[in-house]
Amino acid sequence: MLPEGQDGVRPIFLIGMMGAGKTTIGRQLAAALGREFADLDHVIEARCGVRIATIFDIEGEAGFRRRETAMLDEYTLRPGLVLATGGGAVMAADNRRMLGERGCVVYLRAGIDDLYRRVARDRHRPLLRADDPRQRIVDLLAQREPLYESVADITLDTGQQPISQVLRSLLPLLPVPSMVRADTP
């Protein structure tokens, strides 16, 4: 439950699997609400000066996750921010606590086929460096979905809907004043 009187500035955190649409939807949601947008993976890359895959190569997943938690701690304190998290951000209990306590958490959910279709050709996703990337998505989703559901205030299926439809479905569910830009799709 969100604290009374903070709805107008409370950050919105988008969680979900890689390929669920967190960055794409997050950018448009921030524009519709007149808010700042940040993608946590992009923030980490900018701060480190290298791609996430390189961080994985040098520091392993554990090193990356430490960086992710530090950046999440910083960015979840920004009032009014729309933040797209990495797909694995929910794996750490501290991250789930920060997300749940500091903002409105939106789980963008998509099916295996949609996720695979969206990320299959992306060579910059270190967790998909596997003999069977589709099965890797199945395994990751099985592990993460209960965590996404446990921290989410709102769950929205992205499926094959156009982004404009996802936004039209999401906006009325958010605990924010209904002062959205007139050019909202």
pLDDT, tens digit (0-9, with 9 covering 90-100), for 7-30: 447 899 999 988 888 999 999 999
Residue linked to tokens 């270190």 = 126
Q: What pLDDT score was predicted for residue 111?
A: 85
Residues 6 or more apart whose CB falls under 8 angstroms from that of 171 comprise 29, 32, 180, 184
The pLDDT tens digits for 126-176 are 555 666 778 888 888 899 999 999 999 999 999 888 888 999 999 999 986
Query: Domain residues for 142?
Result: 12-163
pTM of the model: 0.85
Residue 178 lies in a domain: no
Residue 179 lies in a domain: no
Question: For the chain, what is the domain count?
Answer: 1
Residue 65 lies in a domain: yes
Residue 169 lies in a domain: no
Residue 47 lies in a domain: yes
Residue 176 lies in a domain: no
Q: Specify whether the CB–CB gap between 86 and 39 falls below 8 A.
A: no
Q: What is the mean pLDDT of residues 32-45?
A: 94
